[in-house]
Amino acid sequence: MSSNYNLFATEESVIESFSEKLAQKSHFEASEIEQILKEYKKLFKSTKRLVRMSDRKEKELNSLNTLMKEKNALLELLSERLSRYISPQLAKTILEDKQDVLLETSRKKLTIFFSDIVGFAEIADKLESEELTYHLNAYLEEMTKVALEYGATIDKYMGDSLMVFFGDPVSKGVKEDALLCVQMALEMRKRIRSLINNGTILPFKTRIGINTGYGTVGNFGSKSRMDYTVIGKEVNIASRLEGVANEGEIVVSDATYQLVKENIKCEERGVFELKGVSHPVKAYRVDGKKSKGKNSSHIFDTELFGGAASINIDSDKLTQEEKQALLKFLEDVSEKLRYEEKLERENQ
């Protein structure tokens, strides 16, 4: 639709007409002044009305803005509550409308993690329910905290077991996902040890299994109630590797090992025939992170005995005096350990 229509044509024609008259003569008749006055009054009325309407619209806009802020706050609260039941990444993806809540799945390369507490059934048998709840929740709280720090998608809790995965709904690439998963497992082991040492939780012994491979990830269930999870044989392998891990051990499959070996120190753990898996699976025990220094002879960064001991020394950063003090300290530690060992031998 094309038109030369001018919204302010009337006002402009009044201005134009009187400008012309003003250019032609210096004296105006009373009737002409009355006409100007009439037009001016009309304009004044219109202006007042437009200002009033504009103010009203502004007021309405402000109240809508307030309402929107309230709704946003409510949405944030609901999102925060929702994220306690599902993975925060997943909640965020759904709430930001990046993913439809449909019964849809896709095949992706994921790194899947399983952990549990060794002998949990026996521990549960000996404890009162409240005490057990407290210790289990404190344990899972810390595990979850670490998982979220590393960007894991928390799949589910099954009693004392935890299943998380990397690679969906967000992925940093297959290699980085695998590395983050193993680094997360190491951090979990460290934090749990610290909780045990300060007496927050019972001396739970955890074991962890990790595998990388293609899985079907997405929503499973019914349209009215669905679970976001991953299924496939690689999930089974991760779960079974957790089963073969000893107390405090992190066991990864060869597939995961190949992705993390540049950054993570691992020891071959053997080849396993796992239940429900048609082929033997080569596995590795994760010992710790590899040192990042260019000259590794100056740096010691080692986790020993399933994380029961760790040494982290960057000798380049130490002054001569500090090196002397460190040597003295290590000699003291050595002496103390020998003394403890001697006592144990004598007591046997």
Partner 1 sequence: MERIFIEKTESTPLVDFDFEKGVFLLKGESYPENVSSFYGEIFEKLEVFVRESEDRDISVEIELIYFNSSSVKAIMNFLDMMEELANNGNKVTINWLYEADDETIMEFGEEFSEDLESVEFHLKEI
Select 8 or 305, whichever has its Cβ closest to partner 1: 8
Q: Residue 50 CB, nearest distance to partner 1 (Å)?
A: 6
Select 54 or 194, whichever has its Cβ closest to partner 1: 54
Q: What are phi and psi of 133, to 5 degrees?
A: -60, -45
Which residue, chain included where needed, has tokens 């990444």? 89
Select 49 or 172, whichever has its Cβ closest to partner 1: 49
Select 49 or 98, whichever has its Cβ closest to partner 1: 49
Rounded to a whole number of angstroms, the CA Rg of the chain reads 35
Helix (H, G, I), strand (E, B) or coil at 209: strand
Angle ∠(93,95,97) on CA atoms, nearest 5 = 70
Residue of the chain from 6, 13, 19, 65 that contacts partner 1 (CB under 8 A): 6
Helix (H, G, I), strand (E, B) or coil at 167: coil
Q: How many residues bind partner 1 (CB under 8 A)?
A: 19
In the window 41-80, what residues touch partner 1 (CB under 8 A)? 45-46, 49-50, 52-54, 56-57, 60
Q: What is the DSSP track for 82-123?
A: HHHHS-HHHHHHHHTTSS--SS-EEEEEEEEEEEEETTHHHH
Select 4 or 26, whichever has its Cβ closest to partner 1: 4
Q: Residue 98 CB, nearest distance to partner 1 (Å)?
A: 24
Q: Residue 10 CB, nearest distance to partner 1 (Å)?
A: 7
Closest by alpha carbon to 220, among 159, 155, 161, 164? Answer: 155
Q: With contacts defined by CB under 8 A, name the span among 7-15, 16-24, 194-202, 315-323 that binds partner 1.
A: 7-15
| Total length of the chain | 348
Is there binding between residue 8 and partner 1 (CB under 8 A)? yes
Select 53 or 78, whichever has its Cβ closest to partner 1: 53
Q: 196 with 184: CB under 8 angstroms?
A: no
Closest by alpha carbon to 241, among 228, 232, 253? Answer: 253
Binding site for partner 1 (CB under 8 A): 1-8, 10, 45-46, 49-50, 52-54, 56-57, 60
